[in-house]
Amino acid sequence: MKKKITMIILAMFLVLFPAIIWATGQAEKGPVKLTIAGRDGGYGKAMQIAVDEYMKKHPDVSFEVLKLPGASLYEKVVIDMKNAVGTYDVIMIDDPIATQFQKAGWLTNLDELYKKKGLSLDPDLISTAVKLGRYPYTDSGTLYALPHVGNVELFAYRKDLFQKLGLSKPAKWDDVLDAAKKIRESFPDVYGVVFRGVKGNPIVAGFLPIYWAFGGKVLVNGKPALDSQQALNALKFFLKLKQYAPEGVAMYNSAQVKDALYGGKAGIVTEVWPSWVPKLNDPNESRVVNKVEVTTHPGEVEKSSPMIGVWLLGIPKASKHHDAAFDFLQFITGKEMQIKMADEVGLAPTRDSVYKVAKLVSKYPWYPVQNQALKNAVGRPRTTKWSELENIFGTYLQLALIGSMDPEKALKEANAKMKEVLE
């Protein structure tokens, strides 16, 4: 009987041994399955590349990768983390949403995992992108997520048309207005400027680099600040730009902007993203091969102020595989994988050194300015209410754009609505 009990205890120990090893911070023995909740499209392709490469090096680790639309991803991970179910081991997080997850205490403290492993954060990761994964939002805030996709807004213009008109790269937004006017007058089949005008996120994202460059602020000390002279100056300028945009620009979203850019119908595009331009010089996709300059935004009273839009990777606190998930995070954000994902899918890197890789710069000649833009980029306000505030801002911006409300009234009403939400 005593021998039988001893055998049972030994069997139980062998079953629990891998979990004990994980708890002590050693490499887990035996198979591990990590479940990733990520995005669809190009992001999903990039994630699959990283997963496949990781499994080659770690055959004892398998994955289930969910490739979801943004809204579905958000819904699933919120329900899971709120109830501490632990379904997911790695999640993709759009940076404005990170504050909600961090403040709720749903994410694993990565600083503690770095310390536990005797590792330190690689300074090659660009600081403006890293900072978005910290809470509080400071350079010394606790790290809860690593930057996976280095999205940042860029600015594009037809350099061939600029040369014909004797124009230089716009240094200020007033230069953009002047160039848009001249392009529209000189080339009737080309719109002077194209941007997204759909209410909500699209128009706000496109407007913010102008708004910030004119000195506008969305929040100051946690309170809305749209009723300022700087904000009014920015919106009035935006409405001047509209004169040289397509007639239906208020309904333009990313598909329409990309079509205009690739089809040679846009003289200037005030907002392009890295995922929009990888095939700009592909003759099978583009009519403007080597005719478009992708660069940083102009400044005005403030320096160039592009909006950063990083996708982060975090580990839910309820995950049962913190160590394995952390190891995968180190792998997918490492230099080798960032080069591979950039080369094969066009994923925007978050490492300074990757923007200097010769074969990538040859393929994506705007990489040096993309790197510069990322380092100078401005993050959206760190608030758990950003989604609601953005919808309000975007609604009133579009009302001003279509002429249903004068700019001063639009900003004042948006400011009042934001105040109600924040209170």
Q: Residue 103 — φ and ψ, nearest 5°?
A: -65, -35
In tens, the pLDDT along 93-138 reads: 999 999 999 999 999 999 999 999 999 999 999 999 999 999 999 9
Could you give the domains of the chain?
31-151+309-376 (3.40.190.10), 154-307+385-422 (3.40.190.10)
Per-residue pLDDT at 30? 63
Angle between helix 41-57 and 322-332 (nearest 10):
110
Give every CB contact of residue 293 below 8 A, 6+ residues apart in sequence. 156, 157, 158, 159, 162, 169, 366
Q: Residue 4 — φ and ψ, nearest 5°?
A: -65, -40
DSSP state of 28: P
- Helix H or strand E segment including 52: helix 41-57
Which residues of the chain are under the pLDDT cut of 50? 1-27
d(CA 315, CA 323) in angstroms, rounded, equals 10
d(CA 89, CA 59) in angstroms, rounded, equals 18
Beta 32-39 vs 61-68: how paired, if at all?
parallel
**Closest to 270 (Cα-Cα) out of 302, 306, 229, 315:** 306
d(CA 147, CA 82) in angstroms, rounded, equals 23
Residue type, 396: Y
Per-residue pLDDT at 29? 55
In tens, the pLDDT along 233-277 reads: 999 999 999 999 999 999 999 999 999 999 999 999 999 999 999
pTM > 0.75: yes
d(CA 65, CA 35) in angstroms, rounded, equals 6
d(CA 120, CA 41) in angstroms, rounded, equals 32
Helix (H, G, I), strand (E, B) or coil at 301: coil
